[in-house]
Each structure stands twice: as structure tokens, then as C-alpha cells.
């Protein structure tokens, strides 16, 4: 259940650092994960930083900023981008692989939890995902192994982000997605969690 803030005496929740790609060729289109982040913030569940990115250079710049000491309390990285197995698509003409991202942030994601809100990114060889975690030192990654529907992913995303920030134990998202309430949707979307010490489906 989402917890609403109860005043200044309540500790601030951990933060979500979100980078969002270009979803559409048409610049008039307004699809965005921003309303989901704003909803969770209004409920007092998260704090967030949201940045649009359309090129690998922009993505690397924002990741460097996120991993600076100033933003250490933003423990969850949210990649809201089109995807393909092992790749993130920032726009129609720009893509970047998981291995390249890992090289950019090598060894600096200790304790971070990374969520790929992207189609099929985690439909990758287990060795590739294990190497990504070894290189980055993130405690876990989660995301989807299938192409996902926007509305369905928005529904489950709200719960995933809240649990990543407020769930405590690193496996709390996995436990929630295996619950009777969420398991059918998680299975339909191919939701997957991978830990630094092993893989969970």
C-alpha cells in the first residue's frame, strides 16, 4: 500500500532518478512516465528527478550527474526508454547497449537498484546480465523480457517504483510480483529480477 506523507517529522523517502527517452517521432505526442512519478511524489512515497534524453551523450551526462555525491540518496535508477534485448533505444536513431552503460558507470552503482521500464531489455543471456551487475556493482536490476503495453506497464510501474524505494529488502519487488494480486500481470509482461548474486524469474 502506498504511504502518504504525514508531516515534517516523517523522514524523506529515498529518491528515484529517471531518464526518459523519445517515445514518438511526433513531437506533439505527450506520452511520458512523468505523471506516474508525480502521483507517487504527491502520495509521499518517493522523491524524484526526471530528465529527458535523446542521445547517448545526454544519457551519459545525466548518469554522471546522478552518481555524484550530491544525489547519493537517489538510490533507484529508472530507465524509461524503448528497448530491445540488451539495448536501450533513446530515439529512432540512437541506441545504447547494456555493456556500454556498464562501462560508463563501472563500479559506481553500489547499493543502487536499477529498473528498466523498457520492452524486452532483460531478454538477454544470463551471462550478459550477470556481467552488467558485476561491472556496475548495482545490487539488482529489474525489467521486462517481453514487449509491453503502455497502460499495463504504467499500472505495474507505480507499484514497482514504490516497492523499490520503500520495500526495504532487495528482494521485496520479487516477492510482490509473485503475490496473487500481481503475478498474472507480471508474468504477462515478462517481469524479471536479477541480483548480483544470482537470477530470479
| pLDDT for the residue numbered 76 | 97
Residue 141 in any domain: the answer is yes
Domain residues for the domain of 126 are 15-200
Residue 109 in any domain: the answer is yes
Q: What is the pLDDT of residues 72-91, one digit of tens each?
A: 999 999 999 999 999 999 98
Residue 65 in any domain: the answer is yes
CATH number at residue 189: 3.40.50.1460
| Spatial separation of the C-alpha atoms in residues 54 and 25, rounded to whole Å | 11
Residue 195 in any domain: the answer is yes
Residue 101 in any domain: the answer is yes
| Spatial separation of the C-alpha atoms in residues 157 and 69, rounded to whole Å | 27
Residue 140: closest CA among 196, 58, 95: 196
Residue 35 in any domain: the answer is yes
Q: What is the pLDDT of residues 147-198, one digit of tens each?
A: 988 888 888 999 999 999 998 788 899 999 999 999 999 999 999 999 998 7
Least-confidence region, from 25-29, 94-98, 156-160, 173-177: 25-29
Q: What is the pLDDT of residues 111-130, one digit of tens each?
A: 999 999 999 999 999 999 99
Q: Count the domains in the chain.
A: 1
Amino acid at each position: 500500500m502506498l504511504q502518504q506523507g504525514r508531516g515534517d517529522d516523517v523522514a524523506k523517502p529515498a529518491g528515484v532518478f529517471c531518464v526518459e527517452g523519445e517515445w514518438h517521432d511526433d513531437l506533439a505526442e505527450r506520452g511520458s512516465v512523468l505523471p506516474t512519478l508525480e502521483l507517487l511524489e504527491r502520495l509521499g512515497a518517493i522523491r524524484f528527478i526526471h530528465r529527458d534524453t535523446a542521445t547517448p551523450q545526454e544519457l551519459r551526462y545525466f548518469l554522471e550527474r546522478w552518481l555524484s555525491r550530491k544525489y547519493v540518496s537517489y538510490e533507484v535508477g529508472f530507465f524509461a526508454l524503448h528497448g530491445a534485448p540488451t539495448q536501450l533505444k533513446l530515439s529512432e536513431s540512437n541506441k545504447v547497449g547494456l555493456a556500454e552503460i556498464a562501462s560508463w558507470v563501472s563500479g559506481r552503482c553500489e547499493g543502487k537498484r536499477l529498473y528498466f521500464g523498457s520492452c524486452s531489455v532483460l531478454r538477454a543471456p544470463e551471462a550478459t546480465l550477470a556481467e552488467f551487475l558485476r561491472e556496475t556493482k548495482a545490487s539488482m536490476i529489474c525489467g521486462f523480457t517481453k514487449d509491453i503495453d503502455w497502460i499495463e506497464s504504467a499500472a505495474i510501474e507505480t507499484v514497482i517504483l514504490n516497492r523499490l524505494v520503500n520495500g526495504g529488502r532487495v528482494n521485496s519487488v520479487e516477492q510482490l510480483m509473485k503475490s496473487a494480486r500481481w503475478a498474472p500481470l507480471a508474468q504477462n509482461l515478462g517481469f524479471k529480477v536479477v541480483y548480483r548474486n544470482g537470477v530470479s524469474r
